[in-house]
Amino acid sequence: MRDPRLPRHPHPFPPIPPGESFAFVTNSGGTVPVVKEGTKVSFPSFQYLGEGITINQENDRLTVEQPGNYFIVYSVNLTELLNVSTRILVNGRPINASTIATVVNRSIFISQMILPLEADDTISLELFDFEGTVTLLQGAGATLNVFKIH
């Protein structure tokens, strides 16, 4: 039960301080039809965006508005063990340091990195080296976090 002495907030999140560049987006329990060359993961389930990072209409690409160093973390959690690979794309190009290239079936993928980005650079999460449909777990099936480091 809520303490009546505490103030009520219109939403469960604290206000975003001005100038905070971050993004946290999720795909909760969706399916992704993957082709060998690669398929971007969309994030329609939840989007918490600070200033300076936007998401496109397809929900599969974040854009940073300011140059700087960014801490990027992604996770992919599947409902079954599969021989699929994951990676981050910046401006449509793979970032090798982010790649988890699978040689055995697995269901959990997590990677993190710090990258220098320019204004208007885009960030996407891609599944590749697999043909078929993957099903993401409910909750944090796929997540992408981006934070500008000050």
- Domain harbouring 83, CATH code: 2.60.120.40
* pLDDT tens sequence across 116-136: 999 999 999 999 999 999 999
pLDDT of residue 67: 96
Assigned domain for 48 exists: yes
Range of the structural domain that residue 55 is part of: 22-149
Assigned domain for 81 exists: yes
Q: Mean pLDDT lowest for which of 5-19, 22-36, 40-54?
A: 5-19
Assigned domain for 8 exists: no
Q: Taking 60 as the threshold, does the pLDDT of residue 84 lie above it?
A: yes
Assigned domain for 39 exists: yes
User: pTM of the entire structure?
Assistant: 0.87
Q: Residue 68 is inside which H or E element, if any?
A: strand 68-82
Assigned domain for 17 exists: no
Structure-token match 């389930």, residue found: 45
Assigned domain for 53 exists: yes
Assigned domain for 11 exists: no
Domains in the chain, number: 1
pLDDT of residue 9: 44
Q: Establish how many alpha carbons lie within 13 A of residue 139's alpha carbon, considering only the half-sphere containing its beta carbon.
A: 3
